[in-house]
Structure 1
Amino acid sequence: MTFRSRRLEALFGGRLDQLTYEQIAGLAGVEAAAEAEDLEYKREVAAADPKGKEELAKDICALANHIGGALVIGLTDVKGVPTKVMDIDLADAHLRHLEQVIGSSTAPQVRYETYPIRNPDDPGRGFLILAVPRSPHGPHAVTTPPVKATEKALRYPRRTGSLTAWLTETDVATAYHHRFATMADRAKRLLDIEREALMALPPSNQPQLMVSATPEVPGNMPITQETFNRHRRNLLVTSPYLGEEDLPFSQVRVGSRRLTATMGEPHGYGYRHCELHRDGSGVWLSGIHSGTSTVDLKEFNFADLDTVVYELLSMLYFLGTHARDRAGVSGTVLVKAALIEAPHTHPHGPPRPQMAPLLPFRIDQTDEYRGRRMPLSTHTCAYADAEAVALVDDLADAGTALVQTAAYVADELIQAFGIAEATPVTRDGSINLAHWTTYNKVRIERWAQTTQVRLVP
């Protein structure tokens, strides 16, 4: 689900993807449901002529360029207050036409979600909700030719209160500056929290998976004795791993504008170190369970592909829940994952320790039936990373969208090892059970069955 709004969910009576016809029809005559910055009503949207196409593109861009929101089609309004139910055509051909119009009439193309809400007495008709999240890629322009030519009308709309206005040249320039400045700020913030977490690790030559996240708009997790005690209790009894109940963090401490949670012995195998920042940012380093093998007299460490994917899924989910549920973050987060041969092989890692020889690192898979390594990598890699922008709710809701994000990131990570695709997960959000070893398969299948994520045998 691409858009979540606590205000609209409270107003409508549920999540947009779970609403009933009666809930939307019940908004008629409710003054509290009047149009606002994040809500607009339309009797119908035909988008069959230039004016209709321009109007639809304008409405969608206006929401994306502001705080996001919902366009509810099938309700008339008087002065912004919904007044009368006017069911619209929900045939697939009509929905595809609207999709084509929005795709060809907005630039950059606006991401949105379509929710047809069918009349139980006439399933071919009902309401249509177009849900548009706030976009980190704005400003979005309407690309259809203007119906009324005017030298003053730039083609960038934005919601202003319950109305839509065109941005001025200054507004557009400022929006572009904000887009690039925000991305630069987030990238720097990501680098800062990575560097601090790496320096906090004990000396090690063990391969690590590091996942970090920082929000587009910072949140706020107050740190008081009361909140610390509450978060500490939760972290010490709840496993951060998907489908797992018995692996909570073993220690939680207060740090500078953050909580630090760890699992295992600092100098032991598989030590986990997690820093949860007050602004909703977070970073988690996990010593990856790896085996040792020798080929052509060259010894190396290798991690199973499904172990990397399982850790990545769990870490993305955990950092998403921290951002949303502890720091109150909404919108998007910039996430980054890195596979590193050892902490000091990260470009911003600590100095190399005086320890046992560092072994090269690769990604392979253990054949459970034969008990031996099946090669996947074509070469070793000391450092690989991948980035993505995700909606915080997509991560924290722990469903199909989480798997899609993990698949995108995992593919980029392992391509640095010469592997084309992370086969345990797919870009459409499915779990390929045939590509999981028994221990991880039990956990991921247990989780998927509770979240209705598609399992492929």
Structure 2
Amino acid sequence: MVMRLRRLEDLLGRRLDQVDYNILADLVGNAEAAESEDLDYKKEHYGADDKGREELAKDVAAFANHTGGLLVLGMAEDKGVPSKVFDVDLDDRHVRHIRQVIANNTAPRVPYETIRVPNPDAPDTGFLLLAVPRSPYGPHAVTAPPTKPSKDTLRFPRRGSSKTEWLTETDIATAYRARFTAAAERDQRLADVEEDLVDALADRATPHLVVALAPEAPGDMVIDSARFARYQDEIQRAELYLGQGHRTFVRPAVGPRRLIVTEPAGDRAARVELHRDGSAVIGLGLHTHQSCMRGNDVDLQFVEPGDVVYQLLCALPFLAGHARDRAGASGTALVKAALVADMAEHPARRMAIDLDRPDALPFRVDPLDPGSGQRAQFSTQTCQYAEAHAAVILDDVVDQGRGLLEATAALADELLQAFGYPETGLITRAGELRPDRFSSRNAGAVAAWARRQRLLS
């Protein structure tokens, strides 16, 4: 899935991975499509010599160190304005060369996506696009040997207007500090938003899934009367539970620097907190069964793997959609998922321990046998609290494609390993979905949603 560059998508009228040859060719002479902070044109492929390698590394690093951008290979420019089409070869050899140059001549390696846009009349040629997101891992250095004396510059480029500028030593020190400070702040932000929700649900004694998300590049959701009315309408029309086709939430409320969203009352009602910076967290009560391991007394509670995976599958696009579409965050986000037997036992709880509260029953994750309706013991141990972490691409998750399945599988597998599962078997790490393995409550909804999204083989 290609990173989204919103200004350029507005200019082109569609997503970068959906742009066709004629749209790009029609940019010729369009002053609004002139080279800028996020757009650059190259008449031909970068050379295979030292100068070509240095130029390619410099151009992608400059975008990554700034706001991200798009390199269009196959278009000449005159004073920055696209002036003439010069189709370039789209063969694997050139794409491999680009990959090797960027891998070997930038540090840390610059992330990017390659998009081929073939000429309908000559499909082996056309435009080659290099989409470079703003990187949270900057500053990125150019490690290729300099082809000109550069005593007065360091090797950290940054896009400035339509040209490349070089970071000063102060800029570099500031950028490094920002990288490490930002990483620590993201981790703390994730913990803070989770803690607030856990405290709000601390009186619940039933198993819950708590999912928190914090974008690596924070956004800014404005809350005023007009926008709040729009948010209320959006959220009340939202489909949290994929494939079920019904509305979920009551009227949202405003909280401190956030929106607070709940389902109608109940001990398993979802609660969501949507923060101004794009961070978000959801608490989802799980359908719980009880079992007797010894004698006739209930001494075990369990949930089905399909219920855990389904709730996680539903939570991720809802949270990521808030970060991207309301707060305007972009790029990647950190996600933490936690499975807890009793909300009072969640480690993030700030409230004082209630000594009169009964201990939670031992907790497992096991399916029901479809024949007998009894618990089929797949777990090898009880666990009162499990957590999983992942970095996700916001667009992949919001678009509800393979990227969402891959992210869900990574988190779900890690959660259930605490109960002795090597993997859930419901979604593979490659994004293959197996709806028939979900629970009877949600297998049909998963299948309906997957058909709609064309995710079934």
1:63 aligns with 63
Query: Structure 1 residues 2, 22: closer, same or farther in 2, change over 3 A?
Result: closer
- What is the DSSP-based 3-state SS (H/G/I as helix, E as strand, rest coil) of the residue aligned with 1:321? helix
Query: Structure 1 residues 150, 231: closer, same or farther in 2, change over 3 A?
Result: closer
- The residue type paired with residue 419 of structure 2 is F
Q: Is the 8 A contact 1:2 1:133 kept in 2?
A: no
In the alignment, the residues of structure 1 paired with residue 281 and residue 50 of structure 2 have an alpha-carbon distance, to the nearest angstrom, of 48
Superposed, 1:277-316 pairs within 5 Å as: 277-295=275-293, 299-316=299-316
- The residue type paired with residue 374 of structure 2 is R
- What is the DSSP-based 3-state SS (H/G/I as helix, E as strand, rest coil) of the residue aligned with 1:94? helix
Whether 1:168 and 2:168 are equivalent positions in the alignment is yes
1:146-194 Cα offsets, whole Å, 9 max, x none, are: 3335444433221111111222222221111101111222222222221
Superposed, 1:362-381 pairs within 5 Å as: 362-381=364-383
- The residue type paired with residue 136 of structure 1 is P
In the alignment, the residues of structure 2 paired with residue 54 and residue 374 of structure 1 have an alpha-carbon distance, to the nearest angstrom, of 60
In the alignment, the residues of structure 1 paired with residue 415 and residue 437 of structure 2 have an alpha-carbon distance, to the nearest angstrom, of 17
Q: Is the 8 A contact 2:202 2:343 kept in 1?
A: no
Q: CA deviation at 1:307?
A: 1.6
TM-score, structure 1 length as denominator?
A: 0.92
In the alignment, the residues of structure 2 paired with residue 409 and residue 89 of structure 1 have an alpha-carbon distance, to the nearest angstrom, of 40
Q: CA deviation at 1:61?
A: 1.3
In the alignment, the residues of structure 2 paired with residue 366 and residue 215 of structure 1 have an alpha-carbon distance, to the nearest angstrom, of 37
Q: Is the 8 A contact 1:59 1:164 kept in 2?
A: yes
Superposed, 1:5-404 pairs within 5 Å as: 5-148=5-148, 150-201=150-201, 203-266=203-266, 268=267, 270-295=268-293, 299-349=299-349, 350-353=351-354, 354-404=356-406
1:415 aligns with 417
Q: CA deviation at 1:285?
A: 0.4
1:234-291 Cα offsets, whole Å, 9 max, x none, are: 333432122221251135322222221112434x3x2211111222221100111222
- What is the DSSP-based 3-state SS (H/G/I as helix, E as strand, rest coil) of the residue aligned with 2:172? helix
TM-score, structure 2 length as denominator?
A: 0.92
Q: Is the 8 A contact 1:238 1:245 kept in 2?
A: no
Q: Is the 8 A contact 2:46 2:55 kept in 1?
A: no
Q: CA deviation at 1:47?
A: 4.4
Q: CA deviation at 1:361?
A: 1.8
In the alignment, the residues of structure 2 paired with residue 445 and residue 96 of structure 1 have an alpha-carbon distance, to the nearest angstrom, of 38
Q: CA deviation at 1:438?
A: 4.0
- What is the DSSP-based 3-state SS (H/G/I as helix, E as strand, rest coil) of the residue aligned with 1:418? coil
- What is the DSSP-based 3-state SS (H/G/I as helix, E as strand, rest coil) of the residue aligned with 2:27? coil
Q: Which moved more, 1:203-212 or 1:388-397?
A: 388-397
Q: Which moved more, 1:235-244 or 1:120-129?
A: 235-244
Q: Is the 8 A contact 2:278 2:327 kept in 1?
A: yes
Query: Structure 1 residues 115, 36: closer, same or farther in 2, change over 3 A?
Result: same
1:409-446 Cα offsets, whole Å, 9 max, x none, are: 22222222232223222333331334323432222222
In the alignment, the residues of structure 2 paired with residue 355 and residue 435 of structure 1 have an alpha-carbon distance, to the nearest angstrom, of 36
1:189-209 Cα offsets, whole Å, 9 max, x none, are: 222221111111151221111
In the alignment, the residues of structure 1 paired with residue 20 and residue 26 of structure 2 have an alpha-carbon distance, to the nearest angstrom, of 10
Q: CA deviation at 1:210?
A: 0.6
Long gaps (5+) in structure 1 = none
Query: Structure 1 residues 82, 230: closer, same or farther in 2, change over 3 A?
Result: closer
In the alignment, the residues of structure 2 paired with residue 158 and residue 425 of structure 1 have an alpha-carbon distance, to the nearest angstrom, of 40
1:384-407 Cα offsets, whole Å, 9 max, x none, are: 222233333222222222222222
- The residue type paired with residue 292 of structure 1 is Q
- Aligned-residue Cα RMSD (Å) equals 2.2
In the alignment, the residues of structure 1 paired with residue 273 and residue 365 of structure 2 have an alpha-carbon distance, to the nearest angstrom, of 26
- What is the DSSP-based 3-state SS (H/G/I as helix, E as strand, rest coil) of the residue aligned with 1:102? helix
- What is the DSSP-based 3-state SS (H/G/I as helix, E as strand, rest coil) of the residue aligned with 1:437? coil
In the alignment, the residues of structure 2 paired with residue 313 and residue 141 of structure 1 have an alpha-carbon distance, to the nearest angstrom, of 37
In the alignment, the residues of structure 2 paired with residue 435 and residue 351 of structure 1 have an alpha-carbon distance, to the nearest angstrom, of 40
- What is the DSSP-based 3-state SS (H/G/I as helix, E as strand, rest coil) of the residue aligned with 2:252? strand
Q: Is the 8 A contact 1:2 1:391 kept in 2?
A: no
Q: Is the 8 A contact 2:2 2:16 kept in 1?
A: no
In the alignment, the residues of structure 1 paired with residue 47 and residue 437 of structure 2 have an alpha-carbon distance, to the nearest angstrom, of 46
Between the aligned residues of both structures, percent identity stands at 47
Q: Which moved more, 1:393-402 or 1:107-116?
A: 393-402
- What is the DSSP-based 3-state SS (H/G/I as helix, E as strand, rest coil) of the residue aligned with 2:429? coil
Q: Which moved more, 1:156-165 or 1:346-355?
A: 346-355
Query: Structure 1 residues 94, 370: closer, same or farther in 2, change over 3 A?
Result: farther
In the alignment, the residues of structure 1 paired with residue 264 and residue 418 of structure 2 have an alpha-carbon distance, to the nearest angstrom, of 29
Q: Is the 8 A contact 1:205 1:356 kept in 2?
A: no
Query: Structure 1 residues 31, 436: closer, same or farther in 2, change over 3 A?
Result: same
Q: Which moved more, 1:8-17 or 1:139-148?
A: 139-148
Long gaps (5+) in structure 2 = none
